[in-house]
Structure formats: structure tokens, C-alpha cells
Chain A
Amino acid sequence: MTVRLAQDGTIELEGACPIEDAEALQRYLIADPQAGVDWRSCAAAHAALVQILLAAKSVPRGPPASDFLRTHIEPLLKSRGAA
């Protein structure tokens, strides 16, 4: 599983997250809207996951492990997030 729930309730994204993870991510976020997302080990994320993060206005704990996510996606999530 590339998306999993850590013991402290944090949702962790790890490695290359495929489209299937979007549903799990959404489920976790619905179950606990306050849960933090940690994508520091995330090397790639399918658009479906980014879509869920945007819809949830979630600002994951970063920086993520890929240049693309770090340079282009993280700032977006930050500017849209919980603000």
C-alpha cells in the first residue's frame, strides 16, 4: 500500500502513488478531516490523488520526494489549502 494510516493518525503517501490510492486517501480524509497528510516519501502522485488533496484543501507535510511535486504542486496545495 502506498497510502497508509500511521499510528498517530497521519495519512502517509509513499513511493509512486497510483490512481487506486485516490479512493483510500479520500476515505481516510473523510473519516478524519483533521488528519494530516505526510508526503515526504512520495515520489510521484497520480492526478487523481492531487485532485483529492485539492478538493479536501489539504496541505500535506512536505517537501515531497520528487522535484515536480516539490516545485509545482506543493506551492499550489499551499496556496489553496485551508486558507
Chain B
Amino acid sequence: MNEFIKQFLIESREQIEQATADLLALEETPDDKARLDGAFRAFHTLKGGAGIVDFTAMAEAVHAAEDALSDARSGARAITTVLIGDCLRCLDHLAKWLDATERAGDLPKDAEAEARAIVARFARSAGETSAALPGSRPGPEKWAEKLREQYATLAAKARTAIRYTPDADCFYQGLDPLARIAALPGLLAVNIEPASSWLPLDAVDPFTCNLVLFALTTGSRSEVIASMGEAVNQCDIDGSLDEKRKDGEVLAPEAREILAEQLLLLGEPRAHGAPGRVASAGIVAANVLRNAGLPAAANRIAGALETALAGSEPRYLKEAIETVLGKESLPEVVAPASPATDQQMTRQTLRIDAARIDAIVNLTGELTVAKNSIGHVAKLAQEGGHPLASVLKDRYATLDRLVSELQRSVVEMRVVPLRTVFERFPRMLRELSADLGKPARLVVEGGETEADKAVVEMLFEPLLHVIRNALDHGVESGSTRAARHKPAIATIHMRAGRQGEHVLVEVSDDGGGVDVARIRQVALDRNLVDAAILAAMSDDQAIDMIFEPGFSTAKEITGLSGRGVGMDAVRTAVRRLAGQVRVESRAGEGTTVRLTLPYSVMMTRVMVVDAGEQTFGIPLDAVVETLRIDVESIAPIGGAHAIVLRNRTIPLVTLAGALGLPREERPTAEATIVVTKINGHHGALRVDRIGERMEVMLKPLDGLLGGMRGLAGSTLLGDGSVLLILDLAEVFQ
């Protein structure tokens, strides 16, 4: 790939991040001029870049967004969720194209068609000021009103208005948008507009669809949805006339859609977690109706939910929701693809602060001097008669200092701010919160905290699980929050900070806290733990069980929020980085998940120990103290052993035994013990000998050793031998 394109990819991704942040902020405070200007500038820069590398399709798409934002700056266009959503979707496409370009060197083939669709979308939403920002009630849409004015006489009979913007490449897919419109039940009127204004005839591509089709029908909204089939994704359907006529009350199209989704959920084949699914569908439906100002209907749903749950018969709930929707069973609505959550592709480029490079250049200079001085020592040794040892020692000290500095500098080069991963979450939360129907905002602090690139990149997935969990299980439903006098919009805090050699990342919500009783119950139900052991567990220990594989709180219902994602995935990912994760819960006040991660995955301080005639390294972080104790004071407890240290019983593991190594059978009067603390639990490790402490470059194990329990990695020692570093959490399990 040529240098130009490489640079373009790096810069474009930065601009996309910038634009996303600005757009999301703008959505919160639509009159923030600075954010609007920022987003505009980012799109402008993106367009310039696309022009330079000759990515015409991308330039076109970005140009449309830039124009829209430019109109917003001049006041010609209102800043609506639709506008911001369109801009964000445009950025999604860009990110996808950039990834494809990185793989293949050029834009994907379908980029042109997609770009045209983006342009059409902006053209379509131009001049509209509907779909207002949260707070105002969504009324009938502008285009629909216009359509009804246009066909005033027919409109009196119309129940539903449709606006259908087919994909630009739909002709290639063998689709005939006109046939779809012709097939609509009760068709009253049809209008066709160009998606972007007509080109001269000889410039028109006959196989690219540049049409927006409008229709008025006497069919109901659900009939229209059924008739449009999968094309419903490209349709805006306004059935507000229909609903007004039927109920005398307005149920916003969004609300109807949410209800329809609950029906779909209920219609799914009975899978595991079905009661949870039914409960969730019922609660969501009731909330929607309550928010729409229809408390009576909400109560009917709540009643039906109870009946349904009592008899394990989701049918009752389904029927109740159908009744609210006007006894129409709705066909399957294909959910629009959720935006790229799989931007997990690790990027190979790093942008490095020039000052850090300068530091390394200086160090190389000093290293050269040190090397020369060793040459000098060699010469002295040849001549003989000098106190060689002291000179050598002196030079070694210098070299040692320089090499450590070099090492640190190189590690620093791999350091990136956590912001790079945090920035993706406000967007994610926006989608999640919409999916789950729980309004929430994300407050990010400490994004400037730095950590090794590998740590930062690995953080995305665990944090995503944690945030999903917070919103899905932590944050209460609207009605519960109201009853608890909490603000309707939940707040999720994401904080990061440096603590010594560690980076702390915290995610806390202001939800209901972890339901410990429920966790105990689930653990029992799933046979994860013995009843007696469970009874003896403190609440903290019980909460810790959510990290166990197989423990996934039963409400894995929402379908939209990543089913079956347990917290064990979080712990696995964090452990892989030699980190730790803890949960703190305050009943009724919220939950905090705290990840402790190493600042750098490369450098680890270890203590060397001998066991079973082999040498191992123990991460020094985990070591509390070392001591020698009388063998007699080791007490057998069942099949295991323990020692008592300062009135505290600590389980003891003999390292050689735990690793399956031959044990030294020579009877000794004293035992050498390393006391460790992992995940808050103390443990004693009996070793044969304790050696030196050192700083090593930890290399993760791969190949044959990769799957071995109890080992975290390896490093090379000065004499060329390999030192295996232990994973104490696994040793003690």
C-alpha cells in the first residue's frame, strides 16, 4: 500500500473519531456552535483527504454530509436526531470502507452504490425538521403532510403514507421498486421524485436507482409492512392518521414499532430463558404505553404479563399487545443491522509523539558511547595489570542504566491514551440505550490516562460487556427509577486513572445494584456451588460468582443486548492481560465494576523461586511477604493444608505438587513460604528456595505450552535459560 493511502487511513480514522464525538455532543446540546463547527471541519477534512487519494465515492458521501452540516451552521437546516443519525451512519460506512481499503488497497466495489444511497438519504432529509430531539412528541412527518396536501382529495381516505427510498443498487439485485408500490393494498396515489436531481439523459446510469417513491394507501400500517416485504427497511411509513382514527389516541410510530418488536420476541421459538424474555417484553410494552400517556393500556399489559408468567403461557401477553396494536398481527420486521461493533480489527499503525523518538535517539547516542568504553576496557584487559573488575563493574552499571532507559522508552512508544477506546462508547451507549428503551448518558473521565497499546486495544470488548450489563441489568426500568426518585436518564460513569504500575478502569452505574439474593439463587439453581459453601459466602464473594463461566443472569432476553454474554468473558479477557476485575455493589444505588490492568504488558517485575528442581518467576505484584515457618505449624485441613498467619488461616499450596513436579523428599524443619494476594484472596505458596527479583520482558506462551494451566508466560534469563512465569490465580484454583 502506498504511503499516501496509509497516511490517509490514519488521518481519516482520527477525523471519524472526532466527528463522532462532536455529533454525539451536538445531539445533547444542539446549540453548541463549537461542536457543530468541529463536526463540520472533520467532514470537510475527510472530504479533502478522499479527494487527494481519489476515492470519489467516499468524497461524494462525505460531501453530502458536509453540505447538510453546512446548512445546519447557516440555520437552513435544523439539527435533528435524523440529521445526526444520518451523519453517524455515513461515518459507519466510511469506517467500513477504510477497513476494506486497508485490507485490499482500494474502496470496496459496492462503495459507489452505498455512497449514492448516503447522498440520497441526505437529499431526502433536507428541509425536514421533523423527528425532533427528545422531549417533543413525534408528530406526523413533513413528507407525509406534503404528500397529503398534494393529493388532498384522496388523502381523506388514506390511512397510511409511505416513503420508499430503494438502495441505489436495487436494480442489480433484481428488484423493481415500482412493482412493490403497485402491489400495495388499497393504493390511492403514487408520486416519484428523483433522489438526487436528474442529470442530463446521457449521464443517467439506467441501472442505478435514483428514485424516491411515495404512496398513499387505504391499507393499514401492518398491511403495508407485510406488502413491502424486506424493502420495509428502506421505507418510512406514517400511519398516524390510521391510529388517530382507530383509537382516538395517538400512539407514535416509534412506540408501535417497539410493541411490534416485543411481539417478535414473544413469537420466537421457546428457547432457554423464555420466562425472562416474556417478562422483559411485558415490562417494555407496559413502559412504552405508560410513556405514551396510555396508563390504562399499560395496566392491561401488566395484568396480562402476570397471567402469562403464572401459567407459563406467553400467549396471553402476546394477545394483549396485539389488542393494543389494533388486533393486527404484525409480520416480521427485519431489524436494521446494528452499527459496527466489530471494529475489533487491531490496527498496526502507531502515532508517536516526536519527543519520545528524540529521547530514543539520545539514548542510542549514549549507548554508542557506552559500547566504545567497553572496547576500551577490553583493550585494558589485553594489556593487563589493571584492576579490571572494578572498571568492568562501573561500565556495567552505565550500560545497565542505559538499557533500562531504552527499554522504558520503547515501552512508552507503545503507549496510547485510553481515549482511543473510550471514544467508541458514547456512540455504543446511544444505540444500546435506544435498543433497550432505557435512556442513559455516559460520562467519561480520565481518557488521557495512558497504557500499553495492547492493553488499550484489549479493553474494548470487556468494557462493552460491562456497559451492556450495566444498562441491561443494572439500570432499572423507567417506572422503578421514578419510584426510587432517581433521574429518568441513567448515568454511567467510565473513569480511568493511573495507580503506580497499574491502570484502573471503573464503570459505575446509578442503577439498582447487584441483587445478591438473586445471584445466590441462580448459583444454586445452576449447581454452580454447594449449598453449604454458598451459605458461608459473604455477599462480596457471592457477587464474585457472576464472573464464573456459566453464570449469566437469567434475563438474557433483550435479543438486542448481546444474549448470553456473561461476565466470565470480562474476567477471561482481563486475566489474559494479567489484570484483575472486581465488582462493588450498593443496593439501590448502583454497581461499580473495577478493572485493574498493568500499565504495560511487556515489563513485569518477578521474584524467582525454586520448586521441584526447577526455577519459576512469580509476578511481584502478587507477593505480599516471604517467610520461613516451622513445618510443624502447617495444619492439614481435609485433603489440603493451611497455615495460620497473624490469626488468619491461609490455604497453603506446595508449588511443586501443584505443578506436578517431583517433590524434594528431604525432611526439613522449616518451610519457605511466599504469601500472595490474588483478587483479594490470600494464599501461601510453599517453595524450595527464594531467589532474586528482576524486571523481565514477559512473552505470552504460545504453541504447545500455550494451553498449560498455571503459566502466564516466559522470559529469557541472562544465561540464556528460559524462566517460566506463573499465573498464581490458576495455581491456587
Contact = CB atoms under 8 A, between A and B. Distances in A.
Interface residues of A, number: 23
B178 A47 contact: yes
B165 to A, nearest CB: 12
B447 interface: no
A55 B204 contact: yes
A2 B230 CA distance: 29
Contacts of B171: 19, 47-48
Chain A interface mostly: helix
Interface in B411-428: none
Contact of A19 (B166, B176, B192, B210): B176
Interface string B201-212: 110101101110
A68 B182 contact: yes
Contacts of A48: 171, 176, 206-207, 209
A19 B178 contact: no
Given A19-B176, A45-B178, A51 B190 contact: no
A50 interface: yes
Given A51-B209, A72-B190, A46 B176 contact: yes
A47 B179 contact: yes
B210 A51 contact: yes
Contacts of B211: 47, 50-51, 54
B207 A47 contact: no
A55 B207 contact: no
B679 to A, nearest CB: 63
Contacts of B178: 45-47, 50, 73
Contacts of B30: none
A45 to B, nearest CB: 7
Contacts, number: 68
Interface string A1-37: 0000000000000000001001101100110010000
Contacts of A51: 204, 206, 209-211
B199 interface: yes
Contacts of A76: 190-192
Secondary structure of the B contact surface, majority rule: mixed
B207 A23 contact: yes
A68 B194 CA distance: 20
Contacts of A33: 201
Interface string A50-83: 1110111000000000001000110010000000
B190 A22 contact: no
B198 interface: yes
Interface in B203-262: 204, 206-207, 209-211, 213
Nearest to A73: B190
Interface in B438-475: none
A47 B191 contact: no
Given A22-B206, A72-B190, A30 B201 contact: yes
B216 to A, nearest CB: 11
B603 interface: no
B187 interface: yes
Interface of B: 166, 171, 176-179, 182, 187, 189-192, 194, 198-199, 201-202, 204, 206-207, 209-211, 213
Interface of A: 19, 22-23, 25-26, 29-30, 33, 44-48, 50-52, 54-56, 68, 72-73, 76
